[in-house]
Amino acid sequence: QNQRIRTQVSDQIVNDDGFVLEDVPHLTNFLPDLPSYPNPLQKSQAYAIVKKTFVSSEDAVAQNIVVQKDTPRGVHFRRAGPREKVYFKSDEVRACIVTCGGLCPGINTVIREIVCGLNYMYGVDNILGIEGGYKGFYSRNTTTLTPKVVNDIHKRGGTFLCTSRGGHDTNKIVDNIQDRGINQVYIIGGDGTQRGAALIYKEVEKRGLPIAVAGIPKTIDNDIAVIDKSFGFDTAVEEAQRAINAAHVEAESVENGVGIVKLMGRYSGFIAMFATLASRDVDCCLIPESPFYLEGRGGLFDFIEQRLKENGHMIIVVAEGAGQEYVAQNMPGVDEKDASGNRLLHDIGLWLTQKIKDHFSKVRKMTINMKYIDPTYMIRAIPSNASDNIYCTLLAQSAVHGAMAGYTGFTVGPVNSRHAYIPIARVTEATNTVKLTDRMWARLLASTNQPSFLNCSDVSQKDNTGAINSMNTNSI
Ligand code: ATP
Ligand code: MG
């Protein structure tokens, strides 16, 4: 007979042999008291014909979709969706929304859908916009958000509420939340923002306040752990095609044209990998997870020369975080950080462009035509595409259902294509990176037919946790 055991972090279902069948993180931290009000959606026309309107709080989404024989079924999360009982009375809700960190297509759609979701589904009309990121809580006035105010914002890029880095002062923020009588906090942002959200949640809990804290993960790089994909990623991959096309047209139109396109991806190369797989015009894709080298047999210079001979032109896509070790060698002592404490990256695109130019003019005595394109800000600033818009709507509505039901300290996102409530700590404890040992990278290598750069004895593979490896860069 299976037993349910409550551990510090999760509820575990254990069988007779002590074998953990399921591991469900604690009810994404319920607010004090149980939800007791009937969900207003019971009367909603929109939900009247839905077969199963409400999601049971016992419904779970499995993190590992494939479970092998004699292995635990692993971590499960609460399934997202409206609950039969809600914690807050609609007219007592005072919600706020804040956006932090860098831009990403889709932020405005999420803001819009939180506002519309709260208003249309739950009859909430007291929603505040916190302007300019975390520091806006204590340094700026709030704006009032209504469906009318946010009606068109999804058609614009950027964030309607503005954003910032740095300035996270947990006590000041929670004081402010308390002073303003806010009881639902929606926080849209990347890894740093979610860490900040976890601190706000902890402080709220410490003070015993009935305030729901919900995070909506934002990262264009798709590097957030646990969830299938982050919003804005699809749009970024699509928009990157325009830059790759431009580089291709330029390179193809001249003799020995080499086009380099730098794409986003500080620690993970998903955008570069997917943009390359989508394009067919890319000859070589360089990502942070896969070390590469320039000189010697099987190196990048050799490969460029080979492709120029075969095709007359060559396109390289490089993720911004690729090859940072090499660039750093040329700039010792340069180690700057942004206001949030993130290390500023060296410009691999410019560095690579110069290295290739130097090699072909000085060593190979060959004339090449180099075109370098960095579309980063153009990509980040566009509105989200159709599929991201739909995705943002789901994220926002899930967050609203969760907060209304009294869950707190959670982020929302799809796990194996089912939306779930995930304790914030689970998404901040690791970073999602391209696994070189998975099939997708192999598919890319097969598609571009580029060198894997693994046949150099000097190179030891990066360990995929984002840690810089012990690479011998003498061959550079
Ligand atoms: P992205 O990296 O995608 O642009 P991000 O959310 O990681 O998004 P950051 O600039 O790192 O962007 O952080 C955004 C906000 O979160 C900032 O206001 C910063 O002060 C705060 N923050 C970052 N890291 C932490 C942390 N460890 N604890 C508390 N607050 C943090
Ligand atoms: Mg970040």
Q: So what's the pLDDT on residue 458?
A: 41
Q: Report CA dihedral (106, 111, 113, 115) to the nearest 10 degrees.
A: -170
- Which tokens in the block code for residue 87? 């914690």
**Nearest-angstrom CA–CA distance, 165 and 149:** 25
Q: So what's the pLDDT on residue 332?
A: 62
Q: Which residue has the tokens 């279902």?
A: 13
The CA-to-CA distance between both ends of the chain, in Å, stands at: 61
Which residues, 6 or more positions from 106, have their beta carbon under 8 angstroms from its beta carbon?
218, 231, 232, 235, 383, 384, 388, 389, 391, 392
**Relative to the CA of 166, which ligand 1 atom is closest?**
20
- Type of residue at 269: G
- Which tokens in the block code for residue 71? 């292995």
Q: Is the CB of 133 under 6 A from ligand 1?
A: yes
Helix (H, G, I), strand (E, B) or coil at 414: strand
Q: Which residue has the tokens 């942002």?
A: 189
Instruction: Report which of 107, 46, 61 is spatially closest to residue 391, judged by C-alpha positions.
Output: 107
181-216 core/surface letters (b: 16 or more CB in 10 A; e: else): ebbbbbbbbbbbbbbbbbbbbbbbbeeebebbbbbb
Q: What angle do CA 216, 204, 337 make, to 5 degrees?
A: 55
Q: What is the mean pLDDT of each run of 10 residues along the chain (476 residues)?
A: 76 78 66 82 78 81 80 84 94 98 96 97 96 97 97 97 97 98 97 95 93 95 90 96 97 97 95 97 97 91 96 97 86 76 90 95 93 96 97 97 94 94 88 91 94 62 36 27
Report the residue among 165, 219, 337 best suited for mutation to probe ligand 1: largest number of ligand atoms under 8 A from its CB: 165
Q: So what's the pLDDT on residue 69?
A: 75
From atom 23 of ligand 1, which residue's Cα is the shortest distance away?
Answer: 192
Which residues, 6 or more positions from 317, have their beta carbon under 8 angstroms from its beta carbon?
240, 244, 260, 261, 263, 272, 275, 276, 279, 282, 284, 285, 286
**Nearest-angstrom CA–CA distance, 242 and 251:** 14
- The alpha carbon of 298 and the centre of ligand 1 are apart by a number of angstroms equal to 39
From atom 24 of ligand 1, which residue's Cα is the shortest distance away?
Answer: 192
Instruction: Report which of 36, 186, 217, 200 is spatially closest to residue 116, judged by C-alpha positions.
Output: 186
Residue 148 phi/psi, 5-degree rounding, is: -70, -45
- The alpha carbon of 191 and the centre of ligand 2 are apart by a number of angstroms equal to 5
**Nearest-angstrom CA–CA distance, 277 and 271:** 10
Q: So what's the pLDDT on residue 469?
A: 32
Q: Is the CB of 190 under 6 A from ligand 1?
A: yes
- The alpha carbon of 167 and the centre of ligand 2 are apart by a number of angstroms equal to 14
Q: Is the CB of 102 under 6 A from ligand 1?
A: yes
ipTM value: 0.99
Which residue(s) pair with 37 in the sheet? 86
Q: So what's the pLDDT on residue 15?
A: 79
CB-based contact 221:192 (threshold 8 Å): no
- The alpha carbon of 117 and the centre of ligand 1 are apart by a number of angstroms equal to 26
**Nearest-angstrom CA–CA distance, 379 and 271:** 11
**Nearest-angstrom CA–CA distance, 244 and 249:** 9
- Which tokens in the block code for residue 179? 């002073």
Q: Which residue has the tokens 């550079």?
A: 476
Which residue(s) pair with 419 in the sheet? 414
What kind and span of H or E run contains 234? Answer: helix 233-252
Q: So what's the pLDDT on residue 30?
A: 65
Which residue(s) pair with 12 in the sheet? 5, 23
From atom 12 of ligand 1, which residue's Cα is the shortest distance away?
Answer: 101
The whole model's pTM is what?
A: 0.90
Instruction: Report which of 472, 473, 470, 463 is spatially closest to residue 290, judged by C-alpha positions.
Output: 463
Helix (H, G, I), strand (E, B) or coil at 38: strand
What kind and span of H or E run contains 77? Answer: strand 76-79
Q: How many CB atoms lie within 10 A of CB 377?
A: 10
